[in-house]
Amino acid sequence: MAVVEVGRTERPVRVDPGDVVVVRLPENPTTGFVWSVSVSDPEVLTVEAEQLTGRDRSTAGGGGEREFRLRSRAGSPGTARVTLALSRPWESTPLEERTLLVQVGTG
């Protein structure tokens, strides 16, 4: 099992079953904008965890990084589209949206 860290890439990410994909995005929740994640095929890839890390507590309103951990499912090769949206919960249109394709091989 490997951990694959993803930056700001537009290319598909290839992983093996059981691997973990980590996505980190800058976030400052005091602005009301927070990242959310959705996965097109939970049989191929699931959201394992999410957290706010690296928060700057030295100043009021300091931001950090939103970290999403996605695990590829064993025995389920295929491709899943991961959609990440930066939005305020009370607004219908995201400020920013990113898409990542994760291709899970057969091992």
Topology given in CATH for the domain delimited by 3-104 = Immunoglobulin-like (2.60.40)
> Are 5 and 54 contacting, i.e. CB atoms less than 8 angstroms apart?
no
Q: Is the pLDDT of residue 56 over 70?
A: no
Q: What is the pLDDT at residue 57?
A: 65
Mean pLDDT throughout 22-26? 92
Mean pLDDT throughout 32-43? 94
What is the rounded CA–CA span in Å between residue 11 and residue 7? 11
Instruction: Tell me what the pLDDT averaged over the chain comes to.
Output: 87
Q: What is the pLDDT at residue 64?
A: 87
Determine how many CB atoms are found less than 10 A away from the CB of residue 21.
23
| pLDDT tens, residue by residue, 57-106 | 666 677 889 999 999 988 878 999 999 999 999 999 999 999 999 999 86
